[in-house]
Chain A
Amino acid sequence: MSEDETQTPASGPGPDWGFETRMIHAGAGPDPTSGARQTPIHQTSAYAFHDADHAASLFNLQTFGFIYSRLGNPTVATLEERIASLEGGRGATCAASGHAAQVLAFFPLIEAGERFAASTRLYGGSVTQFSRTFPKFDWRCDFVDTEDLSAVEAVLAQGAKALFVESLANPGGVVTDLEALSGLTRAAGALLIVDNTLATPWLCRPFEWGADLIVHSATKFLSGNGTVIGGAVVDSGRFDWSASGRFPGLSEPEPAYHGLKFSETFGDLAFTVHSHAVGLRDLGASMAPMNAFLTLLGTETLALRMERHCRNSLAVAEWLTGHPKVEWVSHAGLPTSPYRELAEKYLPNGAGAVFTFGVRGGYEAGVRVVEKCELFSHLANIGDARSLIIHPASTTHRQLTDEQRAAAGAGPEVVRLSIGLETVDDLVRDLDQALAAA
């Protein structure tokens, strides 16, 4: 091999690579030292420095590299690049959980005493995090019905610096009008932050609709086998922090880095550099390399799995629609869904695999259906290869008030399903016997 070939870095069509190719390859070439083709699990706490000058460069953020795995780890970085690529973002920061990623997303944006807004239609844990725990940091959340655009405008006009929504909302069947909302946040100089957990980038890419940041719970479909707790925050790289002036955490001198201004020095890399160098450094909720590895394996088959998840889930939803013990089914892929049009626009590859239905007989009947299932697992998770069932009112949304539960689509009669990859007839049979026994 000529010397030329040895040192020519890879050069290809870059962003033109297809989604399925990037699912498998983005971020992950052969290991430079061993040639290992699958990404190694870099199970190490810390990294050697070449010399004192190299160490100084790393601590000053003057060069790319690793110091300590709280701030960054090669296996985790591979997953970060993979997720950034799949979302069409500039960079990503992985975190110990989806909830940790949410803290990491707000951390550079919201100062003590400042406000942000969030949709009322959110995973119950996010409602609790924003309304109970964030106030301890003096971060104030206003919940708003994001289908009422004038209410959104009003809350942004009152100083909300960001709007947080779920693209496809948990517990299910609700699609958010991202393009309309990003128009409002842009006009107000605020950020649109989208939790894309239920949709995954295979079904929806919020940056294409004007989102500024995306958060994920990698615990769900990204890893896909119920093995991992993990999360990520992805930056579009498009928000101009210096021009805005509303986000001093990114545009003003950072005392912990000798007065460095992140947006000036790092340009469109600023948010992601800050999330590692300040966010993970001080909040400490870093992803473990093993969890990054398992999530990388999951991303390799994301499109294939999501196709089957969506197909199975629509079949189950259609079957439930005709069942005498079922009052209603909330699945955005059904022709009767009020979200059908939004689903066709934002989720052209499928309307997801998590949805809810209402059982005749209310709270008691809801609890009984869940307990009678044989194949569906009764547990508090979604996005597993296994089909999962839960009664949100008595579990995931238990901490909420009645009004919050109703607004979130988690009333007393509601049962949530996360449809897996099993034989669809077996899923229908299991639900049929459970409904009969309920």
Chain B
Amino acid sequence: MATDLHYSDALITGILRRVRTIAMVGASPNWKRPSNFAMKYLQEKGFRVIPVNPRAAAAGASILGEKARASLEEVPAPVEMVDVFRASEAALGITREAIRLRAEKGFDVVWMQLGVRNDEAAAEAEAAGLTVIMNRCPKIEYGRLWGELGWGGFDSGVISSRWPRPAKGGGRSG
């Protein structure tokens, strides 16, 4: 990989607070697949996650209670974030589709999963005004920044002596 990617905690936090709906390209109906794990977790945290999976869509299937869609084109607006759960090579086509549909769907962020990186796609998306995150998992980042990752014994890198007020209703919103 070219250079190390660095995203500030403030940038990631801002995205995860602002985004309500995520189109997850490559979401799997198989509960043991990483995409299904991530989708379930993000749903629990109050995100709406719309699966994009042509095969599941052709079969008329739902994934974790959400109807599968064949393409980004078919995702109902508004959707703020496109989460690319596909191989790095596939990210360019998906990103170009996201750029094309940007105004219509409300896309604001293209997020490529842990292990997925496509610098060409990122450059095009950023030139089009989209925010790009690569090689990160929104589930892990959410867990890390909202204090849950440490429950599993992981280093979150987060240090703070502030005591935030509890959320209204206990959700993510804010």
Q: List chain A positions with a Cβ less than 8 A from chain B.
A: 1, 3-12, 14-15, 17, 21-22, 25-27, 29-30, 32, 35, 37, 57, 60-66, 72, 74, 77-78, 80-81, 84-85, 89-94, 258-261, 264-267, 269, 272-273, 275-276
Contacts and interface: CB of A to CB of B under 8 A. Distances in A.
A80 B153 contact: yes
Interface string B10-38: 10010001000000000000011110010
Contacts of A10: 9, 145, 158-160, 162
A25 B161 contact: yes
B151 A66 contact: yes
Interface of B: 8-10, 13, 17, 31-34, 37, 40-41, 44, 114-115, 137, 140, 143, 145-168, 172-174
Contacts of B17: 7-8
A14 B40 contact: no
A27 B32 contact: no
A77 B158 contact: no
Given A7-B174, A29-B147, A72-B151, A12 B31 contact: no
Nearest to B39: A62
Contact of A62 (B13, B41, B150): B41
Given A6-B174, A9-B147, A272 B152 contact: yes
Contacts of B33: 265
A60 B37 CA distance: 9
In this complex, the member of B145, B155, B158 whose beta carbon has the largest number of chain A beta carbons within 10 angstroms is B155
Given A7-B174, A30-B163, 9 more contacts: A9-B147, A11-B8, A15-B157, A57-B40, A62-B31, A62-B41, A64-B148, A89-B155, A264-B34
Contacts of B158: 9-12, 14, 29
Contacts of B114: 267
B150 A6 contact: no
Contacts of A61: 37
Contact of A84 (B31, B44, B148, B153): B153
A26 B163 CA distance: 15
Contacts of B145: 9-11
Given A6-B165, A7-B17, A269-B154, A32 B147 contact: yes
Nearest to B172: A7
A4 B150 contact: no
A57 to B, nearest CB: 7
9 contacts: A7-B164, A11-B8, A22-B159, A30-B163, A63-B40, A63-B44, A80-B154, A89-B155, A94-B153
